[in-house]
Structure 1
C-alpha cells in the first residue's frame, strides 16, 4: 500500500510541475503519462484479474481454448515465440492503453483551446478514476481507450476503422458504432427525450423483453446470454442508486448544454447523453452496464472539458472560479488517496480487509519472472 500511497501523493505534484514548464503541450502530455505506463507495464500480481490473465496466457501457449479472443491469443503467442514470458502481455496492453489515451488528449486540444488547467484536470481525473481500473479487465480497458480516440477523431472513415480495431480487442466495443455513425445527425433534444423515456420504462421489463425477442429472432452467439444473469434487472437499492446517479448527471449535463453555446463542445455533451441512455438500459438489462463502461473514458474526459468551459464562462462574472477549481482538485486528490488506501482495483477485496497489500514489480521479461 505504501508505494501506491506515496506514488499518488507525488504524482499530483509531479503533473503540476510538468505542466508548469515551458515544454509543448504534447511533451507535457507525454511526460505526465509516462510514469503511469511504467507502473502498469511492469506490475506483478497487481490487479484483481492479474493471475487470471497469467493463467489464460499459459492456456493459450499450451494450445487450450479460451474465450479471450484472437487478439489476446496473438499477443500471447507472439511474445512466447520471441522468448518473452507473460510479463510482455501486460507491457503490450499497457503501452497501447497509454498510447491511445495520449493520442486522445492531443485530439481534445485540436478541438478546443489549450490551457494548463484543462490538461492538469484531464490527467488527474484519468489517474483517479480510470488508471487503476485499467489494471483489471485489460482487454476492455484497451478497447475503451481506442473508442475514445475513435470518437474524438470525428472523421467518419477513420473513426469506424478504430472502432473496428477496438472490437478486435473486445467485442463489446461495437456499442460505440451507432454513435460514431450518427452523432452528427442526432439532435441533443432527441437524446434528452430518449434518456427520459428509457429511465421511465426501465423498471417495466419491456426493454429486456424486446431485446431478448430480437436476439431469439436473429440468433447468433448472444443466445447464450439470454437466460444468464447478464439479462437480469437491477433490483432494490442498486437500481435506486443507479437511477439517482444517472438523473443527477443528466441534470448537470443538461445545465451545461444550455449554458455552453459553443458548438465545439457538442460532441462532449452528446456522448454523455448517449452514455446515460446505455446506463439507463442497464437498469433492466445488466449487460448494458458493462457495454456502457466502454464509453467511460470519453465521458470522464467530456466532464472535465465541459467543467473547464463552464469555469471560463463564470470567470466573466466573478472570481469564485478559483475556489471551485481548487475544491475540485482537492476532491480528486482525496478520492485518489482513498482508492489507494482501500486497494480499489489493485487487490481482491478479501485480501485487502486489513488495508495492507504489496505493489510488486517484475523487470525480468525473458525467462523466469523475478518479482521485487
Structure 2
C-alpha cells in the first residue's frame, strides 16, 4: 500500500447500524484528494477529513460539465476480510471516461492505491450485514477558473466512500421498467459510453416520467430509430429469449458495465449462448406475447443483478416469467455476490483483499 500523507479527522462520525443503511446517504470520515496541473501531471496525493470542496464560481466544471466518476464496492465476507470487486477494471473504465471527456488519465496502479489506502483507513466503516457493502466513488472534475469552452488545464481527483444497503428498497425482487420512445439518453458519437455527470442529468426526465407512471426505472431505446434497446437508466439490460441470452452491443451509447462483463463471462463459462446484438423492442414484446421471453434483468454495480418482472411499452404491460425472478437471473446474482463476499470460489481472480491501515 502506498504511503500517502494522512490527516486524520478530529471529529469521527458515529457509524450507522447496518439495518439502517440506504444507498449513498452516509459518507465516511475521510476522502482522498489529488491534483493535476498541465505540465506537472498528477501530484499531491493525500487523505484528509471528509468535507466540502472550495470552488470558485467560475470553476469550469460548473459551466462546461467536465466531470467523470466511477463506482465500485468493498465487501466484508463471513471471514471478516474486506474485498474489492474488479477494481482494476473500474480503474481502467475511469480512464476510458477520461479519454472521451478530454481529461487526463491516471496510472491504473495509482487509482488502485487510492482505493486500497482509503478503504484500508476506513476499514471499520465496511458494514457486516449480508447485502451491505462500502461504495467507492472516484471522481475527476475540471478546476480551471475561466469562462471559456475548452478542455481544462487543471483537475481534481477525489475518492469518497459510503456504507450502503440495497440499491432498491424492495431488495432483490422483480422491478417494473418502462420502455421510452420519447426520451433519449445518449447518441452514437456522443458521451454515452462515458460515466460522466451529463449522461445522468439527461436521464432524469425519463426516470421522473417512469416513476410517475408507477415504474422503477426507464429503459431507453436508441436515439435514431427509437427502436432498439439501449440501456436502463442505471443498468445494462439483458434478456433470455428461448435458449439465447441477448444484450445490446457496446456501440458507443452504453456504458461498458463491469457487472455486465462479469455476467457474460460467467454465462459463457456455463455453456450458455450469449449474443451481443441489437434487439428491438418489437422483438422483445413479440417474444413476451408468444411465451419465448423467459427472463429479463438489469446488471450494475449498485444493484448487481435486478430482475425485471414487468416491461411497459406504449400502454401495454408485459409480465415476464409470471412476475417472478427467473432461475438464470437468480443464479447470476448468487454467483456474483458469492464471489464478492468471499463465500464461493473466485476462479477469475476478480476480488482483491484490502488490509486495514496500521
Give the strand-richer structure, 1 or 2: 2
The TM-score bracket by the shorter chain reads under 0.3
